[in-house]
Structure 1
């Protein structure tokens, strides 16, 4: 079984369900509150692990109750935590408002995640022994740059979710093997409002790019050329929190099945992985929460049959 190293954030999500977002200065009543383990990194790690792949999580939590709960989740999901540091800072939190339509707004307080500015020896070792390195932008960019360099030196396939969007070093995106932004992120990164054109730009120089479009599917491109539009699976959304993270975790889990480190991913393999990930994320949005909404391999394959 191939190993997936996830270099990313681990947060506790503080989720309020409400009918609508309040106007500036307005107070409204919420319909419910819950705490759910999350963070883009941990979300993607759980999604991949729940789909049957070996996952190693690299990041940091605080020495507090939230940190203990996140570590317990990793243990329960079978996720290795060789590269998980205990930082002298509170565990990161995400403050999420979910409205009746299922859409959400999120404010992240980085906490311990901000302490991961350079790779530890344990994190570097975990990357070099893996087949895939999965990253997001909720950690400092300095450690992502180090992660990519370590991965490339070892022939490890790199995957980036460029969220939240922020200024990136020149050539950073081109150094990633696969970039998976949503439509808004792709437009911000490229200046192209057309997701097809944005995918073409992001996939230049032999990079894979998948621009996700929510209920409209996703655009798949490689080396400056769009290969096609993958349709979405129609469902009634309850909560879209972590839908994108479920997509990425499932995508990499599918690619990892039978993958030989250092080899190229074929168009057929990528399109099949996108199909698998589309089903996984469609299941997740029909349930509440982040990690709590993610499906198992059996659930995804039952729909694919």
Structure 2
């Protein structure tokens, strides 16, 4: 199988400060460090899928500022097609990330060029049609998500939706979704048990994940024990790794187990993109017997 994954989504520059504890409202604290990383859920998920072994590409938009080049250089370094990054006048999407000593974080996003990604071109639709799996999130307008998932559904391309930042998902998008991946807070807000999707994966942080397939009940996905340094991008690593595995023809349960290991490794390093593990790193963490069983 070709294991082709296309991601339609966001590309941001992450401005990351590290503090001993995240300040309360009205409080000022001193940061221990400040770094600039490539990020955005779309970019993170595309890189995670690519490092997991898929032929992944990202359809996204960047601005005309200096930060745009950071993202373009990252896409090129990962072996992806930089011509799929549209240049829009104005600012590149930016995420302000504060990470505390336990690895927890809070994030404020300025959409910038991401908000101008409203529809796909004919070339981009062809790429979606030729893919095994499409990944979308909600850091870009609903119009482009609907365009992408509808194109995928008509072509028989599997659709993985990560509905975050969480907001109600319109029925036209949900109708095309094969797998919905949410965290426990998003699951509660969206009342996912009531949504008409075939499969729901709920990530639970250090408690692993649950996999519910319509008509087959719920399966618990165990978590690998780890010490978190930075949880930024862990969910995106899970999504991209899972998509890469199902693109290879792996079952949803086995793919979720592999993605859980990938996510656990990602929290052991700083930065969303730098922390995304390679396929070899995940297989080494699983061990030869478990890799064979998957």
Give the alignment's TM-score, normalised by structure 2: 0.93
Aligned to 2:61: 60
Structure 1 residue 256: deviation in Å? 1.6
CA contact (8 A) 2:17 2:34 kept: yes
Aligned to 2:257: 275
Q: Does 1:150 align with 2:141?
A: no
Give ranges in structure 2 of 5+ residues lacking alignment.
Answer: 288-294
Deviations 1:184-208 (A, max 9, x none): 0010001xxxxxxx4x434x45x11
Aligned to 1:39: 40
Structure 1 residue 82: deviation in Å? 4.5
CA contact (8 A) 2:8 2:135 kept: yes
Deviations 1:107-166 (A, max 9, x none): 000000000111122221211111111000000011111111111111110000010111
Structure 1 residue 232: deviation in Å? 0.6
* Separation (CA, whole Å) in 1 of partners of 2:235 and 2:217: 20
CA contact (8 A) 1:237 1:286 kept: yes
* Separation (CA, whole Å) in 1 of partners of 2:159 and 2:74: 25
Aligned to 2:208: 217
Taking structure 1 as reference, are residues 152 and 163 closer, same or farther at Cα in structure 2, changes over 3 Å only?
Answer: same
CA contact (8 A) 1:56 1:82 kept: no
Structure 1 residue 228: deviation in Å? 1.0
CA contact (8 A) 2:51 2:278 kept: yes
Give ranges in structure 1 of 5+ residues lacking alignment.
Answer: 191-197, 260-264
* Separation (CA, whole Å) in 2 of partners of 1:224 and 1:99: 41
Taking structure 1 as reference, are residues 225 and 187 closer, same or farther at Cα in structure 2, changes over 3 Å only?
Answer: farther
Deviations 1:63-90 (A, max 9, x none): 2221111111111111224432111121
- The one of 244, 251, 262 equivalent to 2:242 is 251
Number of paired residues?
286
Q: Does 1:118 align with 2:119?
A: yes
Structure 1 residue 225: deviation in Å? 4.4
Aligned to 1:5: 6
Aligned to 1:227: 218
Deviations 1:2-47 (A, max 9, x none): 2111000000000000011222222210100000100000000011
* CA RMSD in angstroms, aligned pairs only: 1.4
Deviating runs (4+, > 6 A) in structure 1?
A: none
CA contact (8 A) 1:58 1:81 kept: no
Give the alignment's TM-score, normalised by structure 1: 0.90
